[in-house]
Amino acid sequence: MDKFQEHLANYQIHVKEDVEKRVAFIREQIDGPGLGGAVVGISGGIDSAVTAALCVRALGRERVIGVWLPAYSLDVHALDSQKLADTIDLNLVTIDVGKAYDALVPAIEGVLTLDDKTKGNTKARLRMTALYAIANQKGYLVADTCNLSEVHVGYMTKGGDGLADFNPVSSLTKHEMRILAEELGVPDSIITKPPSADLWEGQTDEQEMGFTYEDLDRYLITGETRPEAKERIDYLHRISEHKRNLMPGI
């Protein structure tokens, strides 16, 4: 067994302890300051599913709001979001941000044309606007759903899914997230689905990043990966540093 597989096998052995550690962290973030609960953006993907499941386990159904935020999203993500809610007893609501997107993008394109990536990031920022409106009104905190793999290469939208109040999964690679998802009872259709930020039709994480999650996670865990993947990972890490730090000031 190589170092990467050995690491994952060891995490599998200790996953129950890790669940308790993360549940305690969530309670500390919410109950410590005396806040009401948590809001989680639900995408139909594994990262938001794990985050929501941890929050429900930590706080109970009454103190967690899961929000499905379609913007011309594929039906499979809506179905998986509802399947998740049914499985973990999540209070799930829907806010369609498609109309807001339809109003905002033409206004911006009156100034300059936007490409698909920028339009996708605009969807992510509209989604976060909705999450913060709910959190603001309820006195809740927004839970971030970005895992270590995404954070390392900046695969999140600044002001979108890269913005939140606390993150209970930020130290986990995508492969560890899959192990944790199984432990938490996340539906198999979510665990096995190709990861996608749902920014445009047919978009997948690996296609956009230019390497696989195994390439990335193997590098993060062992320091070794394919040379061409290492070069790309190091490049993305370098140019995304601004996403991981507070903005500079003078």
Binding residues for Mg(2+), as ranges, are 47, 150
Tallying the residues shown for the chain, one arrives at: 250
Amino acid at the residue 129: T
Of 140, 30, 144, the C-alpha closest to 91 is 140
| Annotated binding residues for deamido-NAD(+) | 125, 158, 165, 242-243
| Annotated binding residues for ATP | 41-48, 145, 174, 196
Distance CA 109, CA 122 (A): 12
Distance of CA 215 to the CA centre of its chain: 19
* DSSP-H helix ranges across the chain: 3-13, 15-31, 46-59, 75-88, 98-109, 116-138, 148-153, 174-184, 188-191, 205-209, 213-222, 227-239, 241-244
Question: Which residue has 């109040």 as its token pair?
Answer: 165
Which residues have a Cβ under 8 Å from the Cβ of 196 and sit 6 or more positions away?
45, 77, 203, 204, 205
- Would you tell me how many other CB atoms lie within 10 Å of the CB of residue 149? 24
DSSP sequence for 123-156: HHHHHHHHHHHHHHHHT-EEBP---HHHHHHT-S
Of 30, 43, 48, 15, the C-alpha closest to 145 is 48
| Annotated binding residues | 41-48, 125, 145, 150, 158, 165, 174, 196, 242-243
